[in-house]
Amino acid sequence: MNISFGSRAPSKDAVDTIRTARTPRATPRSGGMPTITAPMPPEEIRLDQSFGHQWPARDQFGRGTCVAFATIAAVELLQARSADMPPERLSEQFLHDTIIHMHPLGDAAAAEVPEGGVLLHQALSAVQKHGVFDAKIAPYKPAGIGFNHEPEKMAEVLNTGTGNTVDIHAYGTIGDAPELNVASVEAIAPGEQTAETLLSFLRADLPVAVGLPLFRHASGLSNWTTPSAIRSGIILCPEDAGAPTFEGPRTDGHVVCVTGFIPDPAEPLGGWFVFRNSWGLEFASHANLPDSRQMSGTRGYGLLSATHVNNYCWEYLVLKSKDPEGTA
Report pTM. 0.89
Asked if residues 306 and 195 have their Cβ atoms less than 8 Å apart, the reply is: yes
Q: Residue 46's closest CA among 196, 244, 268, 263?
A: 263
| Domain-wise residue ranges, the chain | 7-319
Residue 161 is classified by DSSP as: H
Asked if residues 323 and 82 have their Cβ atoms less than 8 Å apart, the reply is: no
The answer for 235, left when phi > 0, alpha when psi is -120 to 50, beta otherwise, is beta
Give the 3-state secondary structure of residue 189.
Answer: coil
Predicted confidence pLDDT, tens digits, the chain (328 residues): 667 788 888 987 898 999 888 754 433 443 444 444 455 566 899 999 888 778 999 999 989 999 999 999 999 999 999 999 999 999 999 999 899 888 888 766 666 665 657 899 999 999 999 999 899 988 998 876 555 445 456 556 556 555 588 999 999 999 877 778 777 789 999 999 999 999 999 999 999 999 999 999 999 999 999 999 999 999 999 999 999 999 999 999 999 999 999 999 999 999 999 999 999 999 998 876 555 565 667 899 999 999 999 999 999 999 997 654 444 4
Q: What is the pLDDT of residue 2?
A: 65
Domain 7-319: homologous superfamily in CATH: Cysteine proteinases (3.90.70.10)
